[in-house]
Amino acid sequence: MTNSSPQNARLSMRQRDCFPNSWISSNSCNLLLPAEISAGKWDFILNTHLSIPLPCTSPRWRCQKKEDAQKSNRFNFAVDVGCGSGQGTVLLAPYFTKVVGTDISQAQLEMAQTNSKPPNVSYRQSPAEELPFANSEVDLVTAMTAAHWFDRQKFLVEADRVLKPGGCLALLSYTMNMGLEYEDKSEALNDICKEFYAALLPFRDPYLGTDSGKIYSDMFESCSYPDKEWNESFHVKKTLPLDSYIGMVQTFSSFQKLLKKDPEEARRLSDDIRTKLLSAMKVSSPETEVTVVIKYFYWLARKP
């Protein structure tokens, strides 16, 4: 593997958007993991799109009978591209005979290997645009909060190459504009959160633009599969300490760029936002629990 991949040029920023391994069991990390939706949305994504017999939300995603799905043997092989430390990869294990997580970062894969994983999960190093699998071999290609770092057109071509006919491409991510809920003070808290995000906007990677959702909608539009579906938003809520919310924002690549450029300003910004939030909540402890609201979006497409 060479360092010429477009994804390699963005690797350091990609890693900064991944939560540290030490956060895996913490509230702040769990909030942003697909585990929060594994029982609901992943069942919907996999069961309707790969034709397992569960209710669908539109005629276009009407499910086959169970015996037909079993005969088609569609649930053999899933690939999680840009898997990072594998926190989302392991969620696919109950649905497939074999699951492989791929990432360009050896450090991320080493982290994944140290985490507990089911026996049918493994990891391989590769760019998203050069997957190490045969043509028409894979039932599901997915990327969870990673596809915005890929060379998007090359990735779509590569996903098409490895997918079986009838296989599914599923891309999932969330917006960085998280909301807060606390008693009757939610509106005031969200105004302060917007200050936080606005201060970080100048440090956002230009490759991502101002809205990562547009990246995914553009990829959706450029996907040539006729059978596809876009879900604009669904919300995940989690109660956790206010300081954990601050900690999550501090993992964003934009905050990390500010921290590298001006550590004192980064600390001042965090402290100022924390103080304003505590004042609006009329509490003194940063361990006071709030409800963090995250807007996810995803799209699905079935290869003809």
pLDDT per residue as tens digits for the range 163-184: 999 999 999 888 888 899 999 9
pTM score: 0.74
Write down the pLDDT at residue 211: 76
Q: Let me know if residue 21 belongs to a domain.
A: yes
Write down the pLDDT at residue 274: 97
Q: In CATH, what number is assigned to the domain containing residue 146?
A: 3.40.50.150
Q: Let me know if residue 246 belongs to a domain.
A: no
| Domain count of the fold of the chain | 1
pLDDT tens by residue, 253-294: 899 999 999 999 999 999 999 999 999 999 999 999 999 998
CA geometry: angle at 149 spanning 51 and 179, to 5°?
80
User: Is pLDDT larger for residue 48 or for residue 208?
Assistant: 208
pLDDT tens by residue, 154-165: 999 999 999 999
Q: Let me know if residue 130 belongs to a domain.
A: yes
**Residue 53 — very low, low, confident or very high, per pLDDT cuts 50/70/90?**
very low
Q: Let me know if residue 242 belongs to a domain.
A: no
DSSP string for 40-99: IIIHHHHHHHTT-SS--SSGGGPPPPHHHHHHHT--SEEEEET-TTSTTGGGGGGG-SEE
Domain encompassing residue 22? 6-176+209-236+295-302
Q: Let me know if residue 127 belongs to a domain.
A: yes
Query: Is the pLDDT at 132 greater than 80, yes or no?
Result: yes
Q: Let me know if residue 257 belongs to a domain.
A: no
**Residue 115 — very low, low, confident or very high, per pLDDT cuts 50/70/90?**
confident
User: Is pLDDT larger for residue 25 or for residue 122?
Assistant: 122
pLDDT tens by residue, 55-109: 233 333 333 333 343 444 447 999 999 998 898 899 889 889 999 999 999 999 9
**Residue 9 — very low, low, confident or very high, per pLDDT cuts 50/70/90?**
very low
In degrees rounded to 5, what are phi and psi of residue 295? -95, 110
Q: Let me know if residue 91 belongs to a domain.
A: yes
The rounded distance, in Å, linking the Cα atoms of 114 and 128 is 22
Q: Let me know if residue 167 belongs to a domain.
A: yes
- Average pLDDT, whole number, for the chain? 79
Write down the pLDDT at residue 109: 93
Write down the pLDDT at residue 205: 83
Write down the pLDDT at residue 185: 96
